Structure 1
C-alpha cells in the first residue's frame, strides 16, 4: 500500500475523511497490573497513533464513545451511536469505523445495520488479541477497516464487519471461535470481499430490502424510555417446560426460542409456547448457526408446522440473538405483537 499522500501530477489530492468511534473492547485493552487480566484502557487517539499507516489512507478523526467490554454495550448505546454516525456523515465524513469488543460485535453491527439508511460505509472492527500480545491483530484490523470505510466499493453495503482482512455483512456474520483471529465467518454465504495490499475488493453485494425503515421511531427514544424485555431461550435435549414457565411468569414483552434443527422443540414445551403466543410475540429460530427455520417439512408435535400453527413466527436465517434484538427494536418503535413479529420475519427472510 502506498503510505504517502496520493498525488495527481503535481497536485496533492485530498484524503477522504473517516470518523472513528471507539467503544472499548480487546482492541483497546491492556493489563491493569501484570498479574491481572486486561481491561479496556487505550483511548481512541492512542488507537490511531498505534497505526501510522492510517496517515496515507484517510484523515481519521477519533471520538471516544464508551470504554467498556462489549458485554456492557446496550441497545440504547447503539441507538445513540447511530445518531453520532448520522451527524458524522452529514458533516462530511465519507465513512465511519466503530471499534468495540468482539464478543457482541456481530449483534451491535446488526442493530446499527437495522437503523442505517445511508450509502456511506459503516465498518465495525475489533481484535481477538490485546495490543501487548504477540501477534496483536488490532492494528491490522483497524487499518483494513479504515481502508474499507474510505472505499467507494463499500458504499450501499449497509453495515459491515472487517476483521482478519475479510469483509462480512452485519446480517450474516457470526463469531464462531472464542479467541482465534479468524473468528468471524458468515455461514452459508462467506465474506462479501477482502482487503489485499491495501485494496478493497467486493465480490458479493447482498440484496438489501428495507423493512428496517419501519424502525425509524426508535431513533427518537428519549433517555428515560424503558426498552422492551425480550427473552431468548435455547432448547436442548430432554428440555422440560420449567424455564419457559418461568419466562411466562416474568411477563416478558416477547420471546425468542432457538429450537433444535430446523426449529423443533420437545412436545413438553408446546403448551407453554402456545400460551405465550396468545399474548406476546414468540419467534422461532434455529440454534444451528446456519440455514433457516423450516416452515412445512415436519408435522410432529413440537415441529415447525405445529409451532407455526400455534402462533409462533419463524425468523428465516436470523439466529436467536439477532432475532431478539430485531424484536426489541420493533416493539420499541411501537409495533404491536403481530406486526412486530412479522417485521422480524421479513428481516430474517429478506436476503
Structure 2
C-alpha cells in the first residue's frame, strides 16, 4: 500500500443549499453496489448515482471546507461559513456530473480545512489505496473536495465548475500516472508542487517555479506533457500506520533562538521543521541546540518561509536536514510519515536530500 494514489482536489462553493446527511440513491442499480464499494469497511457512502456501464467510475471524498461553504451572497469570498454542505448536495448542484461519470460520494468529514488533522488524512489515504489499488478495482479515479486553507498539506470560488472538472479529470485515462493533482480555475497542477499563494484571490493555487501540468479547454483536459511523476516525490507504506507523530513548524525570524526549539521538544514534538530565512538559513544562537538534537537522532528539517525555491543539501551530514523543494507544511507532512514508518535519522535525511544532492554532485 502506497501513499501515492490519485487524488484530485476541487475547490470552493458559495451560496449552496443545506447539507443532505442521508444516502441519496438514483434508480434501482447504484454505482456503489455495482462497484462493490458498499462492502468497503469504513467507507461511509452517502451518495450513489445510477450505474451506467459506458461511463468511468469516480469516487468523491467530501471533507467540507470552502467548497462545502454557504453564504448569503454568491460573490462572497470572506464571509462564508465553511463545511456545511454535504456531498449529495454538491453533486446535485452540478447535474452535468452524472453525464460524465458514475459517481459515488462518501462524507469523510464536514469541517473547515483549518481543522483537517492527521486522523482524517490517514483514513482517506487508506481508503483511497483500498478503493483504487486493490486487486480487481473498477474505480477509475478519486476526487477529494477540500477547503483551501490547508489543501496544500493534504492538498475557491467557482466551485461547481471546479468539481465538474475534477470529476472529469479523475475519469480521464490521460490523467493516469501523474500522481495527485489539484484542479482550480481551469488549471491542472501537481499536488506535490502546488501551493496557496494568496489568501483572497481566485487564482491562488500555483506552482510558481514548476508550472502547471495542463488546463481545461471547452470542458476537456489538455496536458502539456506526457504522464510523469514529480521528480522528488517520496512514497511511504502506511499499511500499519495508525497515527502520525507530533511535528512542529517553527517560524524563523531575526533573533530566533533556542527557546522555541526547547519548548517544542519539551511539549512532545518528535521532529521539528524550521521555516528558515532565505534558503533555509538558521540564526547562530539556534545552531547549538539544533546540532545537539541531530546528534541525539532527533530530526530537525530546515525549509524556507519564502515557500518557493530550494533548501539545498550539502556535504555536512551532521547538522540539520535540508528540505529541498518542499515548503514548511509539506516538509512537516513528509517528516510525520517518515517517523510513523519507523525511519532512522539517516533514512529521513535521505528521503529529503538524496535526489537533489545527486543532481548537484
- TM-score band by shorter chain is 0.7 to 0.9
What's the RMSD between the two structures over aligned residues? 2.6
1:156–1:37: structure 2 CA closer, same or farther, 3 Å change rule?
closer
In structure 1, the partner of 2:15 is none
In structure 1, the partner of 2:57 is 17
d(CA) in 1 for partners of 2:148 and 2:357?
25
Deviation at 1:186, TM superposition (A): 0.2
Give the conservation status (yes or no) of the 8 Å contact 1:28–1:41.
yes
d(CA) in 2 for partners of 1:255 and 1:100?
26
Q: Secondary structure at the match of 2:278?
A: coil
d(CA) in 1 for partners of 2:246 and 2:53?
50
Give the conservation status (yes or no) of the 8 Å contact 1:211–1:346.
no
Question: Which deviates more, 51-60 or 182-191?
Answer: 51-60
In structure 2, the partner of 1:184 is 205
Q: Among residues 327, 331, 339, which one is paired with 2:339 in the alignment?
A: 331
Q: Secondary structure at the match of 2:70?
A: strand
Q: Among residues 132, 141, 146, which one is paired with 1:95 in the alignment?
A: 141
Q: Does 1:156 align with 2:177?
A: yes
| Deviation readout 1:282-312 (Å, 9 max, x if unpaired) | 111122111101345xxxxxxxx8xx45421
Aligned length: 299
1:63-78 equivalences under 5 Å are: 63-78=106-121
Deviation at 1:281, TM superposition (A): 0.9
Q: Does 1:140 align with 2:158?
A: no
Q: Among residues 86, 95, 98, which one is paired with 1:52 in the alignment?
A: 95
1:346–1:56: structure 2 CA closer, same or farther, 3 Å change rule?
farther
1:93–1:348: structure 2 CA closer, same or farther, 3 Å change rule?
farther
In structure 2, the partner of 1:239 is 256
1:97–1:37: structure 2 CA closer, same or farther, 3 Å change rule?
closer
TM-score norm. by structure 2 comes to 0.76
User: Larger helix proportion, structure 1 or 2?
Assistant: 1
Give the conservation status (yes or no) of the 8 Å contact 1:248–1:276.
no
In structure 2, the partner of 1:42 is 85
Deviation at 1:240, TM superposition (A): 3.2
Higher relative contact order (CA 8 A, sep 6+): 2
1:243-258 equivalences under 5 Å are: 243-258=260-275
d(CA) in 2 for partners of 1:108 and 1:332?
16
Give the conservation status (yes or no) of the 8 Å contact 1:20–1:96.
yes
1:145–1:345: structure 2 CA closer, same or farther, 3 Å change rule?
same
Deviation at 1:101, TM superposition (A): 0.8
Give the conservation status (yes or no) of the 8 Å contact 1:317–1:349.
no
Structure 1 gap segments, 5+ residues each: 1-11, 110-127, 130-136, 297-304
Q: Does 1:289 align with 2:313?
A: no
1:262–1:140: structure 2 CA closer, same or farther, 3 Å change rule?
same
1:162–1:349: structure 2 CA closer, same or farther, 3 Å change rule?
farther
d(CA) in 2 for partners of 1:161 and 1:233?
27
1:39–1:309: structure 2 CA closer, same or farther, 3 Å change rule?
closer
In structure 1, the partner of 2:66 is 26
d(CA) in 1 for partners of 2:285 and 2:108?
46
Deviation at 1:261, TM superposition (A): 1.1
In structure 2, the partner of 1:300 is none
Deviation at 1:221, TM superposition (A): 2.5
| Deviation readout 1:37-69 (Å, 9 max, x if unpaired) | 514121101100000111221111111111111
In structure 2, the partner of 1:263 is 280
Q: Secondary structure at the match of 1:180?
A: coil
Deviation at 1:169, TM superposition (A): 0.6
| Deviation readout 1:65-86 (Å, 9 max, x if unpaired) | 1111112221221121122223
1:258–1:349: structure 2 CA closer, same or farther, 3 Å change rule?
farther
Q: Secondary structure at the match of 1:38?
A: coil
Q: Among residues 201, 216, 220, which one is paired with 1:195 in the alignment?
A: 216
In structure 1, the partner of 2:153 is 107
Give the conservation status (yes or no) of the 8 Å contact 1:211–1:343.
no
d(CA) in 1 for partners of 2:252 and 2:345?
23
In structure 1, the partner of 2:18 is none
